[in-house]
Amino acid sequence: MIGKSTAVAAVMVGAIALGAGTASAAATSFGDGTHLVGTHIRPGVYESQWSDSCYWERLSGLSGDLDDIIANDFASGRQVVRIYYSDTAFKSSRCGTWTRLPDPPAPPPPPPPGPMDFVAPAIGSMLVSSLVMPQLPVALLYGSMSMS
């Protein structure tokens, strides 16, 4: 029979393991702070809540140097930012909650080729050939077709 302390320990280990799995999932909404792209948040287009003084930064590194800032803004109103896979982190303050917007739908596939897609190039090349070919013997005889 399993003792009470063994059962409690097993439940705690299971809870910690489950918690670790959900913590590493990238969120689709987040608040102010510094968030690692791909770990805390997914790349994509995000929209903030309306704010009087929202400041955000897309970062290439976490050293704190100004060179780490890829793009930034300080504005009022609702902000929309595209966070890229190549960004290291995203940082914001006084912006409220950021929510990931849905990806745009994929473009429709091109239509299948029709019969004219095969005929038109052949007709075009015949027209060009008929216009160019009569001039070739003249060009060969006189060496040049310059009009001076």
Q: Copy the structure tokens of residue 23.
A: 């913590």
Q: Copy the structure tokens of residue 30.
A: 């987040």
Domain spans of the chain? 25-100
Nearest-angstrom CA–CA distance, 47 and 98: 5
**Residue 85: pLDDT over 80:** yes
pLDDT given for residue 103 in this prediction: 86
Average pLDDT score over the chain: 77
The pLDDT-based confidence of 18 (bands split at 50, 70, 90) is: very low
- pLDDT, one tens digit per residue, over 101-139 is 998 888 899 888 877 666 655 555 555 555 555 555 555
**Whether the Cβ atoms of residue 102 and residue 44 lie closer than 8 Å to each other:** no
Q: List alpha helices for the chain, DSSP H.
A: 4-23, 115-132, 136-142
Nearest-angstrom CA–CA distance, 113 and 65: 54
Q: List alpha helices for 24-135, DSSP H.
A: 115-132
